[in-house]
A and B are shown apart, each in its own frame.
Chain A
Amino acid sequence: MASHRIDLPQGTLDLLILRTVALEPQHGWAISERMQQISSDVLRIQQGSLYPALHRLERRGWIKARWGTSENNRRAKYYELTKSGRRQLEIEKNAWEALTAAVAQVLETA
């Protein structure tokens, strides 16, 4: 199981977080759970990088935080996408698609 997991390339964590909170506000644990779930357990995010990333994105103004009540009735910090975050998500998504397309092309033809 462990062998299936891969490390995230530099910078992709931000993109994934933005994408994850784009649907609805989420707290940190839910974000990591969801990423793991959607990627069929291939992507596992360390808390050591998730939380600094969340704080960094908040500082840049792409996501904002507010305290809410979680599914198990506890106080939790929810993150949601801001307007500029939505723009950033578009930009990063396009960049990522361009990159993967280019890498794929090189792999196929070379």
Chain B
Amino acid sequence: MFSDFYFRFRSLFRRQKVETELDEELHFHYERQVEKYVESGLSRAESERRARLTFGGLDQVKEECRDARGVSFIETMGQDARFALRMFRKSPGFTIVAILTLALGIGANTAIFSVVEGVLLKPLPYPHAEQLVSVAICPLALDPSLRGLSGDEYFIFREQSRMFQDIGAYIETDSDRDVNVTGLAEPERLHAVYVTDGTLPILGISTLLGRTFSRADGSPGSPATALLTYGYWERGFGGSASVIGKTIVTDGKGREIIGVLPRDFRFLDQRDLSLVLPLQLDRNKTQLGNFIYFGIGRLKPGITIAEASADVSRMLPISLSAFPPAPGLSVDLLEKARLSPSVLPLKEEVVGSLARPLWVLMGGIGMVLLIACANVANLLLVRTEGRRHELALRAALGASHWRIAVQLLRESAILGLLGGIFGLGVTWAALRFLVRLAPAGIPRMNDISIDLPVLLFTLGIALLTSVLFGLIPVLKHSHVRTGLVQNGRTASQSRERHRAQNLLVTGQVALALVLLICAGLMIRSFRALTHVNPGFVAPAELQTFRLAIPNSYAPDEARVTPIEQQIQDKLAAIPGVSSVGFSNDIPMDGDSTLDNIFVADHQDEHGGLPPLRHFQFISPGYFRTLGIPLVAGRDLTWAETYKRVPVALISENFARAYWPTPSQALGKRIRLTGVDDWREIIGVVGNVHDQGMDKPARATAYWPLLLANFRGKPLHADRYTTFIVRSPLAGSESLMSQIRQAVWSVDANLPLARVHTMNHYYQESMARTSFTLVMLGIAGGMALLLGTVGLYGVIAYSVSQRTREIGVRMALGAQRRKILELVVGGGMAIILVGLAVGVGAALVLTRLLSSMLFGVRPEDPLTYIAVVLLLGLVALAACYIPARRATRIAPMIALRYD
């Protein structure tokens, strides 16, 4: 087998050498034979004559040798390819249309596949990534969508696990905990991540320079240390190796730089990460129920997720008994929350909910490719029809059916491969477009590229599609026996001959309908989203930015709020600014804090913990600035804030969850946890879609900035805050420079971060829907275009085939109207069947879309009717144009046709 393979290829690639060797071998034989005759006494001339005689035809011997070496298969392939290329050159119109159609279909598919591959399929860039899991605990009874790990669990899991090699915990600094870095050129606010000492080794990450964290670095009380990312090392320190041992000041705290991470270091999906800092957890101060960390674990080889989950289940009760509960919590309450393990492959955690939209897009774009295939198949059918004579001739000259089939398939394969090559160009362009269009939240964008698996995919679908569209003409035409005889005039088309084409068009119409319905449903979702009242007004006029007041500037927590108020006053004095407010959390910025909120004199139904509610700390003026209406009661005052009067505001849906009308909530009391002060409700405000437009508005409690006895602490003040400034100039650099000056006039060391208008968050919250909408819209548009072209082509072709028949009918007195009906009716019959099949398929397939829809059901009748009408009308037009042409035929010309 191997030698056979070797031979064929040797013969193919070293043909020249093989040929000379064959020549030399035969020539040697000839000369030896001549010598022999000469030795036996014959003359030289006679010897040569005889030797030549014994040889017979030299060329024939050679040809037989070549055959024996088995090159013929590959050589005929070359012949076929050369022949196909010659045929393509002879009909450039057909070739260009076919290749373009395929390039579009294959290119679009490769583009989406490269996204699917980069985001969903490729393993995370860590050694043995399949062993990496995200370890978390989920309070099933409260909210199954919440996940987190608390310090106690980290300690117990790490010490007592049986299925894990090691477990680490980390906390991202998202917006809340970006660090202020000072002491370098300008104060900067940098993105950092805090990790326990085991985390980096679990991911298999080592440093480029210096060392990674030791257990000592992770212990409380040891000297503070920091690791730099490669990008920050180059940007901030010019890539100097002497940086090790130097000190960097983060949030007013000096840290020794102990190492630099390698260039390809990636921490999950964190972008723009500058610093990796040690997470120092104090075992002695650890309390239960503080689920603010994220866990990463490396499983022992061969351990499954289920085994790891069971291991975590086993350790959970140990952890609950090993530490005291946080203030206001009890072991009993935690048990009622039904804490359960949530162990996921780490990739799933990184990719999140993107898998479904991407697979839906892949499916959609796959349908476009099928439509493109059907178009090319139709073109090929027509072309093969025209080549019946040639094929029959070949058959008559002795080509086997197999040989003809192989030849036709090879022509298709060449078309498919050319389509694939041009398709890669389409992919390249499409990817640039995609990266620009993609919502900021798409993870692993960096992993998307045209790499080997993507190229193999292209090759694969190019060949697969060529078989798909190539097989149809082969099935119809490789058995041409009567072709030579049948070369007379064709009377009219037989039903049989066009069945394949009609079937293809039916399929195209059905597929296009499904895609257009999907696109239509997304359009309806997007419209529904934009019609939702976000709860605030004119987001384009709101400028937001984030600020942190670190320990070093205001060691006393009580000093934080006056500094913030001072900044607020300075901002309000900027010309054109109508209002300023601030809070630790603004709607739709992706951060939020939840906790159980108790209502006085109200027993929770389950007798246990009240529901988890969203809460935030606000300045007076926050509601006015955002334009959130006051439904009942009044806004907060600065006097109340500074006096730490126990008051609160709640959202309308919070109020209605307990009382029939919002005003009845006034004067009632709520608190966080079981030990805090009760706080009196002084106002009820409108609901806000704080998690994004596609999520319901959450019941929210609003606390003052300064609080006594909050979450077990005597005084609460928040050092991290987002300012919101209402001005018609929002988003302009001139406003921002005035804002910066205002902030720096209070403290020149305060860096501003996350500078965005509110509109940015508003649009970002709809970005996934609009992205899916645009992508499905493009797929639907391509489907419509290709489908229409296919339909038009088939009808036009059938009219041209029936020219004679139509002429006869008209000569016998048929009305133009009748002819029109005949042609259009024939086309519409196919279309109606296609539409019916499409509606049926759409009813099933749009269910896959339901999680991505908003405010519209997958079987929304309006969308179905509109799309059916649209497609029906376009199809009608595609039939009507060739039909009209048919009626213009002069009967005499038609009769002479052929």
CB-defined interface of B61-85 with A at 8 Å, one 1/0 digit per residue?
1001101111000000000000000
CA distance A75 to B60 in the complex (A): 23
Contact residues in A for B64 (Cβ distance below 8 Å) = 48, 51-52
- Known contacts being A29-B28, A59-B3, is A46 close to B56, with CB within 8 Å? yes
Contact A51 B25, beta carbon cutoff 8 Å: yes
Q: Is B16 an interface residue (CB 8 A)?
A: no
- Known contacts being A29-B33, A48-B55, A48-B61, is A59 close to B28, with CB within 8 Å? no
Contact residues in A for B55 (Cβ distance below 8 Å) = 47-48
Contact A72 B32, beta carbon cutoff 8 Å: yes
- Chain B: interface secondary structure? helix
Contact residues in B for A86 (Cβ distance below 8 Å) = none
Interface positions of B from 15 to 67, Cβ below 8 Å from A: 21, 24-26, 28-29, 31-33, 35-36, 54-57, 60-61, 64-65, 67
CA distance A53 to B70 in the complex (A): 12
Contact residues in B for A29 (Cβ distance below 8 Å) = 28-29, 32-33
Interface positions of A from 50 to 82, Cβ below 8 Å from B: 51-53, 55-56, 58-61, 70, 72, 74-77
Q: Smallest Cβ distance from A108 to chain B, in angstroms?
A: 37
**Given A28-B25, A51-B64, A51-B65, 20 more pairs with CB closer than 8 A:** A28-B29, A33-B36, A46-B54, A47-B26, A47-B29, A47-B56, A48-B55, A51-B26, A52-B64, A52-B67, A53-B68, A55-B65, A56-B69, A58-B7, A59-B7, A60-B3, A74-B31, A74-B32, A77-B25, A77-B28
CA distance A59 to B7 in the complex (A): 6
Q: Smallest Cβ distance from B17 to chain A, in angstroms?
A: 12
Contact residues in A for B54 (Cβ distance below 8 Å) = 46-47
- Known contacts being A59-B4, A59-B7, is A47 close to B32, with CB within 8 Å? no
CA distance A22 to B54 in the complex (A): 26
CB-defined interface of B277-321 with A at 8 Å, one 1/0 digit per residue?
000000000000000000000000000000000000000000000
Q: How many pairs of residues, A versus B, come closer than 8 Å at their CB atoms? A: 69
CA distance A95 to B36 in the complex (A): 35
CA distance A51 to B67 in the complex (A): 11
Contact residues in A for B68 (Cβ distance below 8 Å) = 52-53, 55-56, 59
Q: Is A34 an interface residue (CB 8 A)?
A: no
CA distance A74 to B24 in the complex (A): 11
Q: Smallest Cβ distance from A69 to chain B, in angstroms?
A: 11
CA distance A59 to B24 in the complex (A): 19
Q: Smallest Cβ distance from A34 to chain B, in angstroms?
A: 13
Contact residues in B for A33 (Cβ distance below 8 Å) = 36
Q: Is A27 an interface residue (CB 8 A)?
A: yes
Contact A59 B70, beta carbon cutoff 8 Å: yes
Selected from A48, A58, A61, A74, the residue in CB contact (under 8 A) with B28 is A74
Q: Smallest Cβ distance from A1 to chain B, in angstroms?
A: 14
Chain A, interface size category, equals 20 to 34
Contact residues in A for B3 (Cβ distance below 8 Å) = 59-61
Contact A75 B24, beta carbon cutoff 8 Å: yes
Contact residues in B for A61 (Cβ distance below 8 Å) = 2-4
Q: Smallest Cβ distance from B349 to chain A, in angstroms?
A: 55
Query: By CB atoms of chain A within 10 A, which of B7, B32, B54 has the most?
Result: B32
CA distance A75 to B31 in the complex (A): 12
Query: By CB atoms of chain A within 10 A, which of B7, B21, B67, B68 has the most?
Result: B68
Contact A60 B4, beta carbon cutoff 8 Å: yes
Selected from B21, B57, B60, the residue in CB contact (under 8 A) with A77 is B21
CA distance A72 to B39 in the complex (A): 13
- Known contacts being A27-B28, A29-B33, A74-B31, is A59 close to B69, with CB within 8 Å? yes
Contact residues in A for B24 (Cβ distance below 8 Å) = 75, 77
Contact B28 A70, beta carbon cutoff 8 Å: yes
Contact residues in B for A59 (Cβ distance below 8 Å) = 3-4, 7, 68-70
Contact A72 B35, beta carbon cutoff 8 Å: yes
Selected from B2, B36, B61, the residue in CB contact (under 8 A) with A47 is B61
Give me 19 A-to-B residue pairs in the complex whose CB atoms sit less than 8 angstroms apart, sorted by A's number. A28-B28, A47-B54, A47-B56, A48-B55, A51-B61, A51-B65, A52-B64, A52-B65, A52-B68, A56-B69, A58-B7, A59-B69, A59-B70, A60-B3, A61-B3, A61-B4, A72-B32, A74-B31, A75-B24
Contact residues in A for B61 (Cβ distance below 8 Å) = 47-48, 51-52
Contact residues in A for B70 (Cβ distance below 8 Å) = 59
CA distance A28 to B31 in the complex (A): 12
Contact residues in A for B65 (Cβ distance below 8 Å) = 51-52, 55
Q: Smallest Cβ distance from B702 to chain A, in angstroms?
A: 85
Q: Smallest Cβ distance from B357 to chain A, in angstroms?
A: 54
Query: Across the two chains, which residue of chain B brings its CB closest to A77?
Result: B25
CA distance A52 to B57 in the complex (A): 13
Contact residues in A for B57 (Cβ distance below 8 Å) = 48
- Known contacts being A46-B56, A52-B61, A55-B65, is A76 close to B28, with CB within 8 Å? yes
Q: Smallest Cβ distance from B240 to chain A, in angstroms?
A: 63
Q: Smallest Cβ distance from B641 to chain A, in angstroms?
A: 92
Contact residues in B for A53 (Cβ distance below 8 Å) = 68
Query: Across the two chains, which residue of chain B brings its CB closest to A82?
Result: B3
Interface positions of B from 819 to 839, Cβ below 8 Å from A: none
Query: Across the two chains, which residue of chain B brings its CB closest to A44?
Result: B54
CA distance A28 to B28 in the complex (A): 9
Contact residues in B for A58 (Cβ distance below 8 Å) = 7, 69
Q: Smallest Cβ distance from B334 to chain A, in angstroms?
A: 74
Contact residues in A for B29 (Cβ distance below 8 Å) = 27-29, 47, 51
Contact residues in A for B7 (Cβ distance below 8 Å) = 58-59
Contact residues in A for B26 (Cβ distance below 8 Å) = 47, 51
Contact residues in B for A74 (Cβ distance below 8 Å) = 28, 31-32
CA distance A76 to B24 in the complex (A): 8
CA distance A59 to B2 in the complex (A): 10
CA distance A77 to B23 in the complex (A): 11
Query: By CB atoms of chain A within 10 A, which of B33, B55, B64 has the most?
Result: B64
Query: Across the two chains, which residue of chain B brings its CB closest to A55?
Result: B68
CA distance A68 to B2 in the complex (A): 25
Contact residues in B for A72 (Cβ distance below 8 Å) = 32, 35
Q: Smallest Cβ distance from A32 to chain B, in angstroms?
A: 8
Query: Across the two chains, which residue of chain A brings its CB closest to B3?
Result: A61
Contact residues in B for A77 (Cβ distance below 8 Å) = 21, 24-25, 28
Query: Across the two chains, which residue of chain B brings its CB closest to A32?
Result: B29
